[in-house]
């Protein structure tokens, strides 16, 4: 079974530029999460999808971050414009009902804003 | 709201020492509990889980018991190896509306010295 795929692995951009991350979840997983992990901290949920609908985006900075999940499969997370404090690892995870709440994570995208 | 509190790190042990990483939680309801491990440059991997009170999760020599009375899920291993060096995250999952939320602690860095 293929795992959660994310790209790119690394990205360096200047502040005020835009950037997009892509995630392909495990086939058949209805739930998709985007987390932000700042160095030395635990993952913080940005947005959670159930199929192609948003179930939680309460911690997503909507003035600069956006996300979509097309056809309930792949997802993209965009930042526009980026700030220095957005430097972090962005983790995508997916889950199914059988996982009883556990999730499978991709390797993450390390974003550096300079 | 739901939250997870982990013992502060970093933790440094000698090979073959006994490991305990404390985790307590606050939740409105009966969550599933998880331990995830993150190796350098990697995403999070599910280490073990427990879905109801008194359940014991175990994997790769690690164990944790779901203690409802103390709202705890402490991670233990009898004899650590250098290869166990990583960051360990405690997490809980609970239904909120129609989907499960997955909330993480801040992580505990473990370094095992030969």
Cβ–Cβ below 8 Å for B44 and A93: yes
CA distance A48 to A54: 6
CB-based contact, B89 to chain A, within 8 Å: yes
Residue in A56, A102, A106 nearest the CB of B43: A106
pLDDT for residue A1: 61
pLDDT digits (tens, 9 = 90+) for B54-103: 999 999 999 999 999 999 999 999 999 999 999 999 999 987 776 788 99
Long-range CB contact pairs, A24-28, < 8 A, 24+: A24/A73, A24/A74, A25/A73, A25/A74, A25/A75, A25/A92, A25/A93, A25/A94, A26/A1, A26/A2, A26/A94, A26/A96, A26/A104, A27/A1, A27/A2, A28/A96
Q: Which residues of A touch B34 (CB under 8 A)?
A: 101-102
Q: Dihedrals φ, ψ of A55, to 5°?
A: -105, -20
pLDDT truncated to tens, each residue of chain A (114 aa)?
A: 679 999 999 999 999 999 999 999 999 999 999 999 998 889 999 999 998 899 999 999 999 999 999 888 999 999 999 999 999 999 999 998 776 778 999 999 999 999
When pLDDT is averaged across residues B9-31 and rounded to a whole number, the result is 94
């Amino acid at each position: 079974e293929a795992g959660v795929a994310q790209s790119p692995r690394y990205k360096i951009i200047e502040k005020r530029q835009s950037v997009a991350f892509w995630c392909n979840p495990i086939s058949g997983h209805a739930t998709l999460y985007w987390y932000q992990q700042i160095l030395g901290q635990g993952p913080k949920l940005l947005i959670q999808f159930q199929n192609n609908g948003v179930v939680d985006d309460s911690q997503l900075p909507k003035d600069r971050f956006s996300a979509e999940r097309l056809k309930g499969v792949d997802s993209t997370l965009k930042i526009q414009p980026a700030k220095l404090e957005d430097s972090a690892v962005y983790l995508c995870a997916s889950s199914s009902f059988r996982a009883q709440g556990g999730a499978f994570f991709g390797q993450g995208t390390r974003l550096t804003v300079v | 709201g739901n939250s997870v509190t982990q013992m502060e790190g970093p933790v440094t042990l000698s090979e073959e020492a006994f490991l305990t990483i404390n985790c307590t939680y606050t939740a409105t309801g009966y969550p599933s509990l998880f331990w995830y491990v993150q190796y350098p440059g990697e995403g999070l991997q599910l280490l073990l889980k427990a879905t109801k009170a008194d359940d014991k999760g175990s994997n790769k020599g690690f164990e944790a018991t779901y203690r409802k009375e103390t709202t705890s899920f402490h991670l233990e291993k009898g004899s650590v190896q250098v290869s166990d060096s990583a960051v360990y995250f405690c997490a809980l999952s609970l239904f909120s509306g129609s989907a499960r939320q997955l909330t993480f602690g801040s992580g505990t860095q473990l370094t095992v010295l030969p």
